[in-house]
Amino acid sequence: MTGGKSGVIVVGCGMGGMAAAVAALERGAAVTVLERAPQEERGGQTRYTEAYLRMKSEDEVTDDFESHLAENASGYLDPSLVHLTSEPRENWPALVKALSLNDPEWIAAFAAAAGPTVKWLKGYGVRFDFLPTEFLTKSQPRLLPVGGGLALIEALGAAAAKKGAKFVYETAATDLIRDGGGHVIGVRAVGSGYRVREFTGKAVVLASGGFEGNAEMLTRYLGPRSIFLRPVCRGGYYNKGEGIRMALAIGAAPCGDFGSYHAEPIDPRAGMAEPAVLIFPYGILVNQEGNRFTDEAPGTVDAYYERVTRQIYNQTNGMAYVILDSRHMEIPNYRLGIRTDQPPIAAASIVELAAKLGIVPEILAQTVAGYNKACWPGAFKPLVLDGLATHGLTPRKSNWAHPLDKAPYHAYPIISSNVFTFGGLKVDAQARVLNQEGDPIAGLYAAGEIIGTFYRNYTGATSVLKGAVFGRIAGGDAAGLR
């Protein structure tokens, strides 16, 4: 069945899709938005996040914005190829244009468009402020939309509906449709009852996220240990990776680290969205064998929680426990760092705590005693990096190394959540999807986490911003096609 002629087809209505839809409508295009979720759950993962933005004001990104993205822009590439990106893009050979790399001009375009995009969102009634975050210590400021990601979805959703967008829910795109010249003109989609429909127009914007909700793709790309991961929120389960798959099937260039993902430490007992446990720098992390395995506090928690969480993921069953004494409850607003709705596992002694955790009591007692012995005296300064490190202990703890000797003792189980996968599609500064020769695929755009961006380490507080910036760019450019 044919879904009807439309100017721009948008696949997904998270941040990237909503921004693309509104931007295309602003330029006079007819827009159809396809969404796998029912209407009451639309918004993808944006719906469930606070939507931190890595900005020092409503007009400017942080000082390290471009450098951090550049430092984590690729895997190991031939430096002679990377050097060629210092030339104007028109001088790049095809091999360089299609590299799995965050192009300098793409990074620059991202940074330059962030402020104007925030201003654009404000025009639709979204308010922004520097509100308290879950990070008790942080290295970079984070601007937030008041009301979080849900406020963004509701504002843009209302604007899109008012401007005449057609929303088709509980419908998932499965294949791209091209004309005889290879121009992408629509998608084939499946709705309830396996009803196949075709939606055609002059361009398609893929904004359907990564593959957090696809066990097969997770195992294929991340490996069998991905069974120990879970999406950080309900919205992630809707991200099945079809947008990536259908674009790769017609020759799109891949980008981003397909074998990795954005890791966040969460309490596996909790059923709420993003039940983060970010209090671990003030205690020790032990695995199910009762042993420490990483530096719990190499720096501010906002800058290092992902790297610590990856170490948790590598432990037996992908799980660890943070062991705290009562000192952590002296931290001002310490509950900001404990997002779980589940209570701590509490005990009057380490031996009693070990029994409750299923850890051999003698081993945990030995681990804690060895750690306490390696701590040197010092004042407890939890809101600044105090440099109080352990001595003679492997692995060392670099900050807040105070003995665990004040009952009661608390513990929280922690696993790694999969906030979003890193692998996706290569796009240019106009959000046009590129093919393996580095040329734009006519009529095909991408926005949000389907754009492969990150390698090894996530540049914090850029995910929602990337969706907004490149969704707006994609929608506007797609609407202008003739």
60 and 207 both lie in a single domain: yes
Listed residues 385, 417, 449: the one ending a domain: 417
For residue range 153-170, list pLDDT tens digits in order.
999 999 999 999 999 999
| Residue 197 contacts residue 2 (beta carbons within 8 Å) | yes
For residue range 67-114, list pLDDT tens digits in order.
999 999 999 999 999 999 999 999 999 999 999 999 999 999 999 999
Domains in the chain: how many in total? 2
456 and 351 both lie in a single domain: no
Average pLDDT over residues 415-434: 98
DSSP string across 218-285: HHHHH-GGGGG-EESSGGGGG--SHHHHHHHHTTBPEES-TT-EEEEEE-TT--SS--BB--GGGSEE
426 and 335 both lie in a single domain: no
Residues of the domain holding 372: 264-417
Kindly state the percentage of the chain with pLDDT values over 90: 96
The token duo for 282 is 């003030």
* Angle separating helix axes 463-479 and 15-26, nearest 10 degrees: 30
Sequence letter at residue 467: G
377 and 281 both lie in a single domain: yes
51 and 159 both lie in a single domain: yes
250 and 269 both lie in a single domain: no
215 and 236 both lie in a single domain: yes
CATH of the domain at 270: 3.90.700.10
Return the pLDDT at 482: 65
Return the pLDDT at 193: 86
Give 6 or 424, the one with higher predicted confidence: 424
247 and 271 both lie in a single domain: no
The CB density around residue 381, as the number of other CB atoms within 10 Å, is 12
Task: With a cut of 70, say whether residue 3 has pLDDT above it.
Answer: no
Give the global pTM. 0.95
210 and 297 both lie in a single domain: no
The token duo for 296 is 């719990």
For residue range 28-64, list pLDDT tens digits in order.
999 999 999 999 999 999 999 999 999 999 999 999 9
CATH of the domain at 249: 3.50.50.60
Listed residues 395, 417, 439: the one ending a domain: 417
204 and 350 both lie in a single domain: no
98 and 189 both lie in a single domain: yes
109 and 256 both lie in a single domain: yes
